[in-house]
Amino acid sequence: MGVWEQVGLKVGLEIHRQLQTHKLFCSCESVLTETDHWTFSRHLRPTRSELGSIDQAASEEAKLKREFTYQATPDICLVEMDEEPPHPVNQEAVDITLTIARLLGSIPVDELSFMRKIVIDGSNTTGFQRTGLMAFGGKVDTPQGPVRVSTLCLEEDAARIVETDHSTATYRLDRIGIPEVELATEPDIHTPEQAKEAARALGDLLRATRKVRRGLGTIRQDVNVSIAGGKRVEIKLVQDLNSIPLIVEEEARRQYRLIHVAKELETRGITKEEVLAHKDNIIDLTEDLSNTSSKVLQRALNNNGIILGVKLDGFAGLMGQKGGGSPVEGAPESWLYDGKRLLGPEIADYAKVKGVKGLFHSDELPAYGVTPAEVDMVKGLLSCTHDDGFVLVAESPDIATAAMDAVIERSAMAVDGVVAEVRKPLPDNSTQYLRPMPGAARMYPETDLKPLELDRDRAAQIDGDLPELFGAKVVRYVSEFGLSQESANQLVFSSDFEMFEDLSKDHDPKVVTTTILSWTSEAANEGANTDHLTTDTLDVVLTALDESKFAKEAVPNVLVGLCKKMDEDPTDPTQALEATINELGLETVDDSEIIAVIDEELQKRLDFVKEQGMRAIGPLMGPVMGRLRGKADGKKISQLLKQRISELT
Ligand SMILES: [Zn+2]
């Protein structure tokens, strides 16, 4: 039994992907802009849902009383600003989502009704996000087995964050209202690698529609992870496909550590109530530690801060790294000895939300300038026995008190093991506590929009016109265009099949393949900014090649020159190409000029040619090509060379 089976790993994905169409509830274009804007401000009030309850996460956030500033850009209208009700839903967005549903084998709903999902971070001017369930069921295949899809929703994207601190946040409204699908899977994924494969397969399927947006910020992937005895933890905004397995593994290990801590606390007979009772037992140690040589503590004291301490009964050894024992190689037990700290970082994360930069716990002291004598003194003042732990926090009185309450609350939760919560990934693939798991009271019906009946004729039309999936595409590229399996795979999966399909309509598919897979990267290796080489630009280049304005051999050089010209002026590829051809002296030569060069070279080696006959072709190609490089096609030269030699001999 593998380690993932032993720990009972379960992973589900939630993928958000923007659709390539105008906004969901108005006809504004879905474009992001960095140009001018004007701003307005709003305060967020805790939104009381029509069902009468306040979401736990919402009330948590509302305690912070934040003011939100919105940047209105020229491309938006009153809908994005919530000064006008939503217009009827974008029908193209509905069609794209239906297409995705059919590709997944999901069952569309009969009627699309939008719900309001409470959003408390200010990223929606309305205070909620509109989301509509479009389909349920279906699956996606991975090499490790199928992963069922639970729901497919169509929703509006939120505003994008410009800057934020504890009391304010500024958002730009260009992104709000861009349609996106939200696709959630069942927790059918059982290994970290399968999580990556499932995310990849779903991404490929969405791209196959050619109707999803690409690039940074157009995809958001959340990963839900649990192990047996743990709880579902949602890791938000995992950017990179390759980091998914690493993040999943790290989260499984973290949950394993927390389950171990809970078992230990149970063995030691510690209850939640006992831990929480220490809220009345927070000790002010400011006077006692006033002469400490710890820079961290001194900095707080110099800023009129206080030092608070609390005892945690029975927590000794459960906050720092696990020591002693002998881990078994390959068994999950060995995870406890991987050098990671147990409860310390969890408690610190909760305290940080209240505004402290960090804390000290007993398992890491003496250190950081806190002396053994000071540790003994603190233990004495807090009445700690050998089995107890303690935590120190140093900050301004308000923040220190709130942080210490959070420390005690989080420590009490440790009795239950893993806490269901939302976390964010860090650059080292570990995660950090972000907020509690949103409760169930987050949704209520959207009253400004009438439910939309999903008409059967339209569904049938979509069924009859489904896009080709990537696997089928590879097979077709090989059979229809004679491409190698490797090139077809590369074009479809890791390169730009849209570009290939568009260019192949007017140009030789093999030349298009070489252009995309080889020549473009050759140009990039020469330092060219190949972002200029869009489908339109390459169409201009390939058209000129078709018209023999230069030879195939010259294409990489042409692309380099063209990109340089377009660095100066990216607007006119035709003009840039003409200038490049002139600059490189690439105007092609006709047959008579080629023959003239061939004859000159033949004359120089007449004896050799007469002696060798056709075998002289090889040795002669070099010098002739050298004189005609980029001006004539190699095949043409070889053909004319053969002809002249046969005439001579
Ligand atoms: Zn608009």
How far does residue 23's CA lie from ligand 1's centre (Å)?
Answer: 7
Helical H segments across 78-169, by residue range: 91-104
How far does residue 80's CA lie from ligand 1's centre (Å)?
Answer: 5
How far does residue 132's CA lie from ligand 1's centre (Å)?
Answer: 19
**DSSP code of 547?**
T
Task: Say if residue 183 is in the same domain as residue 48.
Answer: yes
Transcribe 147-169 into DSSP letters: EEEEEEEEEEPPPEEEEE-SSEE
Q: Please check whether residue 462 lies inside any domain of the structure.
A: no
Tokens of 586: 């690439």
How far does residue 466's CA lie from ligand 1's centre (Å)?
Answer: 30
Task: Say if residue 597 is in the same domain as residue 557.
Answer: no
How far does residue 16's CA lie from ligand 1's centre (Å)?
Answer: 21
pLDDT of residue 638: 86
How far does residue 413's CA lie from ligand 1's centre (Å)?
Answer: 45
How far does residue 151's CA lie from ligand 1's centre (Å)?
Answer: 27
Whole-angstrom Cα Rg for the chain? 33
Rounded alpha-carbon distances, angstroms, from residue 611 to 150, 620, 644, 645: 78, 14, 15, 11
**pLDDT-based confidence at 646, cuts 50/70/90?**
confident
Q: Which residues of 21-54 are buried (b: 16+ CB within 10 A; e: fewer)?
A: bbbbbbebebeeeeeebeeeeeebebbebeeeeb
Tokens of 528: 């060219």
pLDDT of residue 553: 85
Task: Say if residue 110 is in the same domain as residue 137.
Answer: yes
Q: Which amino acid is at 180?
A: E
Among residues 339, 248, 272, which one has the least CA distance to residue 10?
Answer: 248
Task: Say if residue 560 is in the same domain as residue 614.
Answer: no
Residue with tokens 């598919």, as numbered in its chain: 509
The sign one gets for the Cα dihedral 395, 396, 402, 405 is positive
Task: Say if residue 516 is in the same domain as residue 369.
Answer: no
pLDDT digits (tens, 9 = 90+) for 497-546: 999 999 999 999 999 999 999 999 999 999 999 999 999 999 999 999 99
Q: Which amino acid is at 258?
A: L
Q: Which amino acid is at 544?
A: A
Q: Last residue of some domain: 186, 221, 256?
A: 221
- What domain count does the chain have? 4
pTM: 0.84
How far does residue 84's CA lie from ligand 1's centre (Å)?
Answer: 9
How far does residue 81's CA lie from ligand 1's centre (Å)?
Answer: 8
How far does residue 78's CA lie from ligand 1's centre (Å)?
Answer: 6
pLDDT of residue 455: 82
Residue with tokens 């699956």, as numbered in its chain: 139
Q: Last residue of some domain: 380, 396, 415?
A: 415
d(CA 6, CA 2): 6
Q: Please check whether residue 281 lies inside any domain of the structure.
A: yes
Range in 145-154, 432-441, 613-622 the model is least confident about? 432-441
Q: Please check whether residue 2 lies inside any domain of the structure.
A: no
SS3 letters across 342-403? CCHHHHHHHHHHCCCCCCEEHHHCCCCCCCHHHHHHHHHHCCCCCCCEEEEEEECHHHHHHH
How far does residue 88's CA lie from ligand 1's centre (Å)?
Answer: 12
Q: What is the CATH number of the domain that holds 640?
A: 1.10.10
Residue with tokens 């406890």, as numbered in its chain: 336
How far does residue 496's CA lie from ligand 1's centre (Å)?
Answer: 31
**pLDDT-based confidence at 305, cuts 50/70/90?**
very high
Among residues 454, 612, 518, 382, which one has the least CA distance to residue 113?
Answer: 454
How far does residue 110's CA lie from ligand 1's centre (Å)?
Answer: 28
pLDDT digits (tens, 9 = 90+) for 20-64: 999 999 999 999 988 778 999 887 655 554 444 555 555 655 555
How far does residue 60's CA lie from ligand 1's centre (Å)?
Answer: 31
Task: Say if residue 536 is in the same domain as residue 614.
Answer: no
pLDDT digits (tens, 9 = 90+) for 164-173: 876 788 999 9
Q: Please check whether residue 432 lies inside any domain of the structure.
A: no
d(CA 253, CA 338): 9
How far does residue 161's CA lie from ligand 1's centre (Å)?
Answer: 18
Task: Say if residue 563 is in the same domain as residue 595.
Answer: no
SS3 letters across 17-48? EEECCCCCCCCCCCCCCCCCCEEEEEECCCCC
Q: Please check whether residue 6 lies inside any domain of the structure.
A: no
Q: Last residue of some domain: 415, 432, 454?
A: 415
Task: Say if residue 379 is in the same domain as residue 481.
Answer: no
**DSSP code of 571?**
T
pLDDT of residue 323: 79
How far does residue 214's CA lie from ligand 1's centre (Å)?
Answer: 21
The answer to whether the CB of 261 falls within 8 A of the CB of 363 is no
How far does residue 79's CA lie from ligand 1's centre (Å)?
Answer: 5
How far does residue 113's CA lie from ligand 1's centre (Å)?
Answer: 20
Over residues 299-327, the mean pLDDT reads 92
How far does residue 37's CA lie from ligand 1's centre (Å)?
Answer: 15
How far does residue 184's CA lie from ligand 1's centre (Å)?
Answer: 28
d(CA 525, CA 19): 33
Task: Say if residue 557 is in the same domain as residue 615.
Answer: no
pLDDT, averaged across the chain: 91
Task: Say if residue 572 is in the same domain as residue 522.
Answer: yes
pLDDT of residue 48: 52
Domain residues for 92? 15-221
How far does residue 125's CA lie from ligand 1's centre (Å)?
Answer: 13
Range in 105-119, 204-218, 476-490, 622-636 the model is least confident about? 622-636
How far does residue 642's CA lie from ligand 1's centre (Å)?
Answer: 67
pLDDT digits (tens, 9 = 90+) for 252-265: 999 999 999 999 99
Q: Please check whether residue 31 lies inside any domain of the structure.
A: yes
pLDDT of residue 608: 86
Q: Please check whether residue 257 lies inside any domain of the structure.
A: no
Task: Say if residue 50 is in the same domain as residue 191.
Answer: yes
Residue 483 has pLDDT above 70, yes or no: yes
Q: What is the CATH number of the domain that holds 291?
A: 3.30.1360.30
d(CA 225, CA 431): 12
How far does residue 456's CA lie from ligand 1's centre (Å)?
Answer: 29
Task: Say if residue 56 is in the same domain as residue 152.
Answer: yes
How far does residue 635's CA lie from ligand 1's centre (Å)?
Answer: 56
**What three-state secondary structure class fits 262?**
helix
How far does residue 196's CA lie from ligand 1's centre (Å)?
Answer: 36
Q: Please check whether residue 26 lies inside any domain of the structure.
A: yes
How far does residue 71's CA lie from ligand 1's centre (Å)?
Answer: 14
How far does residue 92's CA lie from ligand 1's centre (Å)?
Answer: 16
pLDDT of residue 147: 98
pLDDT digits (tens, 9 = 90+) for 191-231: 999 999 999 999 999 999 999 998 888 999 999 999 999 99
